[in-house]
């Protein structure tokens, strides 16, 4: 009873550790991926840097001890604080919020890229599992035929050429299956790397249901609104406009206020000081630079939007073509998948071994093509809907 209880406990923890759906895998990758963790730390560092943008300048403290003729001594002490014009602080505060959002979108773009990569790996694993199921069936038939022809050869009903052809087919099937297993192990290792080198299990051979969006304009509008890349470009555009406003406001003079104490020939003086710094040189050409940067950012945003629209439409049309082709293959296979009938006909002597291999190979190639088409369609849809990750 204790052993049974221990087995149940181990099985329970094992099942909890396994990620059996793509959503589970993506959730695990989001928690363990090392590049994303590094991105989170960088994001925190960037936001801390942003928080220091609008601080005051350091105060200036001066002390003077002067000697004159006839042993005269003069002492001077002052403390001065410099201030920017209020509009400068206002624009910097706005820039702080824009930069913080910009860094958030940069991290969101990194996160989307990694999760899309992990999802594509999962889709490849599903495809490889489907192919393994197909090749398992093919190996089973090849082993059955090999045993059948070996027995017929012993009985004198088959010749050595036919028997060798069947054995070569079995060898080819086993070799191809080993290659598929190797590819599957590579994909699982890749998934483990994306999961921060933490163990993760994904054994599904069925794709999640995905509905093809029929309204392209509506889908593209959602992309423009939610895709981190577009948000990043819009953020850079807003930031460039705010930088232009800041550069203009920096033409206002800087202000200074402070306290000063002086002791000369026994006479003490103290009071407040004020000053103005006119930016004749420090802000020279800064407005022109900011304006050029704003124009560049606007043009780049428009160009990127046009490029994204073209690429997105191309991917959308490709996904639609893949969906149509895949459905046609499913329909044809549903009508003509007669491997079992071919095997029975061969054993009954109704068709030759050559005819069997020609027809069976054609059916397997069609099945393999159908699996590849569905994999390509699923990956294309994952790219189209990447903004949902």
What's residue 9's pLDDT? 36
Give me the sign of the Cα torsion angle 333, 335, 336, 342: positive
Residue 117: C-alpha distances to residues 7, 73, 288 (Å): 36, 76, 42
The answer to whether residues 219 and 384 touch, using CB atoms and an 8 Å cutoff, is: yes
Report how far residue 46's alpha carbon sits from residue 73's, in angstroms, rounded to the nearest whole number: 51
- Write out pLDDT tens, residues 36-69: 999 999 888 888 888 887 887 878 888 887 777 7
Cβ 76 vs Cβ 260: under 8 Å: yes
For residues 17 and 182, which has the higher predicted lDDT (pLDDT)?
182
Do the Cβ atoms of 213 and 388 come closer than 8 Å?
A: no
Cβ-in-10-Å burial (0-12, 13-18, 19+) of 349 comes to: exposed
CA gap 221, 73 in Å, rounded: 77
pLDDT of residue 38: 92
Instruction: Summarize the confidence of residues 276-285 as an average pLDDT.
Output: 75
- What pLDDT shows up at residue 158? 65
What is the phi/psi pair of residue 321, to 5°?
A: -65, -40
Q: Judge residue 141's burial from the number of C-beta atoms within 10 Å of its C-beta, 0-12 exposed, 13-18 middle, 19 or more buried.
A: buried
Query: Rounded CA gap, 135 and 148, in Å?
Result: 19
Read off the pTM: 0.80
Taking only the tens place, the pLDDT of each residue in 283-317 is 777 788 788 878 888 888 888 888 888 888 998 99
Give the SS3 label for residue 350: coil
Is 387:119 a contact under the CB 8 Å cutoff? no
User: For all residues of the chain together, what is the average pLDDT?
Assistant: 81
Q: What is the mean pLDDT of residues 162-172?
A: 79
CA 319-321-323 angle, to 5 degrees, is 70
Measuring CA to CA, how many Å separate 208 from each of 22, 109, 185, 375, 379?
A: 8, 24, 22, 12, 12
CA–CA separation, 78 and 211 (whole Å): 73
Consecutive H or E run containing 218: helix 216-226
**pLDDT of 329 strictly over 80:** yes
- Residues making up the chain, counted from first to last: 389
Whole-angstrom Cα distance, residue 23 to residue 208? 10
pLDDT tens digits for range 182-229: 999 999 999 999 998 888 888 888 888 888 888 888 888 888 888 888
Mean pLDDT in residue range 224-235:
85
d(CA 30, CA 19): 13
Contact in structure between 224 and 305 (CB atoms under 8 Å): yes
Percent over 90 (pLDDT), the chain: 17
pLDDT for 382 equals 92
Strand order in the sheet with 267-277: 60-67, 73-83, 254-264, 267-277
What residues have CB less than 8 Å from 294, skipping those under 6 apart? 237, 240, 241, 243, 244
Structure tokens at 264: 């000369």
Structure token pair of residue 187: 């994909």
Window from 27-31, 218-222, 338-342 with minimum mean pLDDT: 338-342
């Amino acid at each position: 009873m204790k052993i049974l209880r221990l087995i149940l406990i181990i099985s329970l923890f094992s099942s909890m550790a396994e990620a059996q759906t793509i959503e589970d895998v993506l959730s695990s990758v989001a928690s363990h991926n090392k590049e994303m963790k590094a991105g989170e730390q960088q994001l925190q560092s960037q936001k801390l840097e942003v928080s220091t943008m609008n601080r005051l300048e350091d105060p200036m403290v001066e002390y003077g001890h002067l000697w004159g003729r006839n042993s005269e001594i003069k002492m001077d002490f002052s403390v001065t604080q410099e201030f920017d014009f209020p509009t400068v602080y206002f624009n910097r505060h706005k820039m702080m919020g824009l930069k913080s959002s910009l860094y958030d979108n940069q991290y969101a773009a990194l996160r989307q890229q990694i999760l899309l990569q992990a999802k594509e790996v999962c889709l490849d694993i599903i495809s490889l599992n489907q192919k393994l199921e197909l090749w398992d069936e093919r190996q089973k038939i090849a082993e059955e035929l090999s045993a059948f022809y070996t027995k017929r050869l012993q009985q004198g009903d088959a010749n050595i050429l036919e028997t060798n052809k069947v054995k070569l087919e079995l060898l080819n099937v086993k070799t191809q299956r080993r290659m598929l297993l190797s590819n599957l192990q590579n994909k699982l290792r890749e998934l483990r790397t994306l999961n921060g080198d933490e163990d993760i299990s994904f054994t599904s051979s069925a794709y999640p249901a995905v509905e093809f969006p029929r309204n392209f304009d509506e889908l593209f509008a959602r992309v423009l609104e939610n895709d981190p890349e577009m948000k990043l470009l819009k953020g850079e555009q807003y930031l460039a406009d705010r930088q232009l406003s800041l550069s203009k406001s920096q033409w206002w003079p800087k202000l200074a206020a402070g306290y000063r104490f002086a002791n000369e020939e026994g006479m003490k003086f103290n009071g407040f000081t004020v000053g103005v710094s006119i930016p004749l040189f420090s802000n020279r050409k800064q407005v022109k630079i900011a304006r050029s940067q704003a124009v560049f950012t606007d043009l780049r945003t428009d160009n990127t939007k046009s490029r994204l629209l073209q690429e997105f439409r191309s991917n959308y049309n490709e996904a639609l073509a893949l969906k149509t082709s895949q459905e046609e293959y499913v329909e044809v296979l549903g009508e003509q998948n007669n491997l079992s009938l071919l095997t029975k006909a061969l054993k009954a002597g109704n068709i030759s071994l050559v005819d069997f291999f020609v027809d069976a190979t054609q059916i397997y190639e069609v099945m393999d093509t159908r699996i590849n088409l569905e994999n390509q369609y699923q990956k294309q849809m994952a790219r189209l809907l990447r903004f949902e990750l």
